[in-house]
Amino acid sequence: MPSVGLGIAGLGTVAQGVLQIIGRNHRIILERTGIDLRVARVASRSAKPDVDLLGAQFGADLDMLYRDPAVDIVLELIGGEDTARDLIRSALMAGKPVVTANKAVIANSGNQLLGSNAEVPLRFEAAVAGAIPIVQAVQQGLVANQFEHIVGIINGTCNYILTAMAQQGTAFDDALRTAQELGYAEADPTFDVGGIDAAHKLTILLALAFDAQFNLPGVYVEGISHVTPADIRYAGELGYCIKHVGIARRSADGVEARVHPALLPAEQLLANVNDVANAVLVKADAAGHTLFSGPGAGGEATASAVLADVLAIAAGSGARQAQPRRALEYLPIEEIVTAYYLRIPTRDEPGVFARVANALSTHGISIEAAIQKEPRAQQDVVDIVILTGDSREREVDAALAEVRALPQVAGEIARIRVESLE
C-alpha cells in the first residue's frame, strides 16, 4: 500500500483538524483508498504540546517541509500571504505537490503559482466554502457544462449576522458583537463584513468556471454594515430575504463579478441557508441548477476538504488545476441590469410619492411594488419602500441623485440589489 508523507505548515485550527481526522480516521481512509497517510513533519513558529503530532518531527523551519525527503505533499495552512505564497512557490519548484486552504494567496497570486511548475499539483478545495466540494464539482462533476452563473453565500460571518438581524430584530452592531463573542467574527471583522473574504472566494470560483485568469481587482465588493433591521423587515414584507452573496454571471453585455447584499426570493433554497452555513448555487447549460450547502469554516470541516485534495494527489487523480487561460473583461457595476430595493425616508407631505415616482420614471425605471405606511403619532418622517423593475445601475444612480435633491427627502436612501436566481 502506498505510504504518503505529509508536511504540515502551521498548527492553527485547520492544521489541528487535519491531525485529528488522520488520527481518528486513519483506518477508514486506508480501507477506502488504500493510501497510508502519515504526518512526517510539522513546522510552526511555536510548539503546542497539547496537540498530538502523530509522531511527526517538529520545527520552525518551513523550508524543511519541501527539503525533507520524507515529505511527499506539503500542506500550507499558516494563513497570511507573503510567507505562505513563498512556501507554496518554493515547494512547487522543488517538485513537491501542495495543498492549501489559503484563499487570499490563490485569489491574488494564483496565476503566477499555477504557472511556476506546471508538472506539480497545486490544489485548493479548502480555499472556498470549507467542507463543500465546490471546486471539485466545478472542475470535475460539472466539467462538461458551460456555466451560466454561480451565486454563493460564501462568508459565514456575514450570513450569521444577517440571520441574527432577521430572526431577532437586532441591529448590525449588536449582531456583530454577538458573532465576535461566539468566535464567528474576528476582533477586527473588516475582512469579513466588508466583503473581501467573499471576493477572494468568488475570484477563485469565477476563474475555474469561466476558464479565466484570477482577477481580484475586477470584482465589485460591498459589505453589509449599511443593512438595517428595517431593510430586512421590509424585504420580508415584499417576499424576500437579504443575504450577502458573491455573483459570477455571464450576461449579454459581459461577465459580472460582484459581491454585495442582495434580496433573494424567500422561497428559494439559497435564501433559507442561515447562521454560519455556506451555500453555492450553480446554473449550467446541461445540469441546470445545482445547490451545494454545508459548513463554510471550522477546523475539521476545512480539514476535510484539505484531506480530499491530499488523497486525490496521492491516488494519482490530483492533476494540477487547469492553467487559467483568458483575461476576461468584467462588466463595470454601473452597467449591470437588475431590480432594486429602495428605502427612501421622506417627510410626511402630500404628493411626495408621486414626486419620487416621477423622478424614477424620468430615467426609465418602473415600480413593481411599493410600501408606504401611515406615520405614527408624532412621527414626521416615514419610509417609502420601492421595488423596481430591472434597470441599469447607472440609470438608478442618476434617478437617485434626482430623488435626493427633493426637499421632502429626509435622510440617506438605502439601495440593495435584487437577484431572482432564474
Q: Which residues are catalytic?
A: 201
Q: What angle do CA 153, 199, 220 make, to 5 degrees?
A: 110
Distance of alpha carbon 398 from alpha carbon 408, whole angstroms = 18
Identify any residues that bridge with 388 across adjacent strands, giving them in sequence order: 367
Distance of alpha carbon 295 from alpha carbon 17, whole angstroms = 14
Burial 38-51 (b: 16+ CB within 10 A, else e): ebbbbbbeeeeeee
Type of residue found at 222: E
Residue whose C-alpha is closest to residue 115's, from 275, 277, 258, 324: 324
Provide the pairing of β-strand 288-295 with 337-347: unpaired
Q: What angle do CA 365, 369, 370 make, to 5 degrees?
A: 100
Phi first, then psi, for residue 312 (nearest 5°) are: -65, -45
Distances (CA, A) of 294 to 54, 134, 155, 275, 276: 28, 10, 12, 11, 9
Give Rg (Cα) of the chain: 24
